[in-house]
Structure 1
Amino acid sequence: MSTNQNPQAAALAYNRAAATVPPSRAVVLLYDKVLVLLQRAGQDIEERRMDRALEDVLKAAAILRGLSHIIDFKRGGALAERLYTMYTRNILAVLQSFRKPDAPERYRKISEGLAELRDAWAEIAGLPTRAQESAARGGHAAMPVEAVLNRKAAGASR
């Protein structure tokens, strides 16, 4: 398995994403990736593809760990502490849920909470929330922001 468990590598991934897009958008992109990974892990578990599910779970945890390592505690104060605690609890929940009989449902619940945080960051970044994206598509599932940005970039290069 090629998943890197190193928190510094996860933080480096955030920094690379932040170098190409504004930091608040990078956070939204990372949340979108975590949500996709958890959804895919749940599907893989239901279909008994445990190796793929474990790889996605470990990647999701690594992204959350990276996000927790870039918190500015000096500027963030009590909010930074609460955010760090939330990341830590979600990392533990993601990892501890893996071999549970109800793991797909657990990942859906974890994703619901993370989706709320994703939407808060989207509002800060001036991006649409998941509900706004869904409404714009007539109720269809929203695409991850990463896909939307790639489409915009492809359209701009024509």
Structure 2
Amino acid sequence: MNPYLKMDVETASPARKVIMLYEKAILCMEDAKLAIEENDLKTKVESILRAHDIIRVLNASLDMEKGGEIAENLRALYEFIEDSLVKVNASNDVKLLDDLIEIVANLKSAWEEIESKI
């Protein structure tokens, strides 16, 4: 791992870490979209799996006791994204992938707004 990136991650606030995960998930989905358009099966699968893993980490990190309704809603959304990524992997549905990118981008924006108020 790049030492500067490692330091950024290690020193980031919890909100910044979530934002960084969203950014990486978006990049992976954009890579998958490009791979679908270029018929690059290997890159598509790898990129979708990375995005799926990131969303799974975000889902697993939810504190369902303290998070209440927000955590429940995020869990449902993360599960939808995970399931949809599996569908994209099987179907090469670029429209669905675009929708997922938009959802994650909106979540990222919401966390950026939260971070700015902390």
8 Å CA contact 1:41–1:104 kept in 2: the answer is: no
Aligned equivalents of 1:126 and 1:91: distance in 2?
A: 28
Aligned equivalents of 1:120 and 1:19: distance in 2?
A: 22
Aligned equivalents of 2:29 and 2:111: distance in 1?
A: 19
Aligned equivalents of 1:35 and 1:17: distance in 2?
A: 19
Aligned equivalents of 2:60 and 2:50: distance in 1?
A: 15
- Higher deviation after alignment, 105-114 or 21-30: 105-114
Structure 2 gap ranges (5+) = 1-6
Give the match for residue 65 of structure 2: 74
* RMSD across aligned positions (CA): 1.8
2:112 is aligned with 1:126? no
- CA drift at 1:18: 5.7
- CA drift at 1:98: 1.4
Residues 36-58 of structure 1: per-residue CA shift (max 9 Å, x gap): 11011011011010111100000
Query: % of aligned pairs identical?
Result: 28
Higher fraction of helix = 2
Structure 1 gap ranges (5+) = 1-15, 128-158
Give the match for residue 27 of structure 1: 18
Structure 2 length-normalised TM: 0.87
- CA drift at 1:96: 1.2
Within a 5 Å distance, the mapping from 1:6-155 to structure 2 comes to 19-101=10-92, 103-126=93-116
Larger radius of gyration: 1
- CA drift at 1:105: 1.9
The alignment partner of 2:62 has SS state of coil
- CA drift at 1:69: 0.5
Aligned equivalents of 2:79 and 2:90: distance in 1?
A: 19
Greater relative CO (CA pairs within 8 A, separation 6+): 2
Give the match for residue 3 of structure 2: none
Q: Count matched residues.
A: 111
Aligned equivalents of 1:17 and 1:86: distance in 2?
A: 27
- CA drift at 1:17: 7.3
Aligned equivalents of 1:52 and 1:113: distance in 2?
A: 22
